Structure 1
Amino acid sequence: MIEKFQEHASNERTYLSWIRTAVAIAGFGIVIERLPSNANSTWTGLALVISSAVLVALASLRFLVIRRQIERSDAGRSMFGAIEVLFSSMLAVLLLTVFVFLLGLARGG
């Protein structure tokens, strides 16, 4: 039996959900890049794909930090708070990128 299996399984499920989110964002970026609208779609698509790669890196870092904390039983000293702030900031930037792209499409540019 794996020690602290519930905690490890929960950590892995969270990691996989972040990976699925990153893949969806990358896919959306590729779709935007393929649109024949204008040059902004190329830059927006590229920004989303790069942001997706950064999101995967942050998710992997968070997964490893939490795994180490679970193994050491360091639940009191939570270092991943800064990573969670980075996730939130990253998602805000992604939403802003999509908003700017859609605003450009609405203006016809």
Structure 2
Amino acid sequence: MIPRFNDHAANERTYLAWVRTAIAVMAFGFLVERFDLFITYASQNASRAAHKLHMHLRLTEWVGLLLIVFGALIILLASARFLRNRRDIAHERMEDYAGPVGEKLLAAILVLLGLFLVVYVGQELAALSSQPDM
């Protein structure tokens, strides 16, 4: 039997939860990056300036790329945390809890990105609904 197996198993479950979160963030980034297809389709039915459309397409690409990179960063940080905790459990050292700074930072960034997307999609829908029907 592995010494302190329950602690190692809890550490691994936490790591896998972070990896699942990172994969979801990266998948959402890919979806946002591909959101330009919806905007292009919707704009075909509305008379909008090409410059504004191009700006929105570039914006969704950058936000999507940012989310993909952010997801990869989450995996790197989660891996480092997993290995550090694994080492500490194996050496049976008592370490002070570092605090939830990383979790608070992750939550703040995701809330900001969510608010940005709500405003962005709201402006797009408002612009599309204000166009006269053809």
TM-score normalized by structure 2? 0.72
1:59-78 equivalence runs, <5 A: 59-75=78-94, 77-78=95-96
Q: Secondary structure at the match of 1:107?
A: helix
The count of corresponding residues between Structure 1 and Structure 2 is 106
Gaps of 5+ in 1: none
Gaps of 5+ in 2: 40-55, 128-134
Q: Which residue of 1 aligns with 2:102?
A: 86
More deviation, 91-100/40-49: 91-100
Q: Which has the higher contact order (CA 8 A, sep 6+)?
A: 2
Structure 2 Cα separation of the partners of residues 27 and 98 of structure 1:
14
TM-score normalized by structure 1? 0.88
1:28–1:45 Cα contact (<8 Å) kept = yes
RMSD across aligned positions (CA) = 1.6
4+ long deviations beyond 4 Å: none
**1:71-103 alpha-carbon deviations (Å, 9 max, x no partner):** 11112x23x615x31232023112211221221
Larger Rg: 2
Q: Secondary structure at the match of 2:93?
A: coil
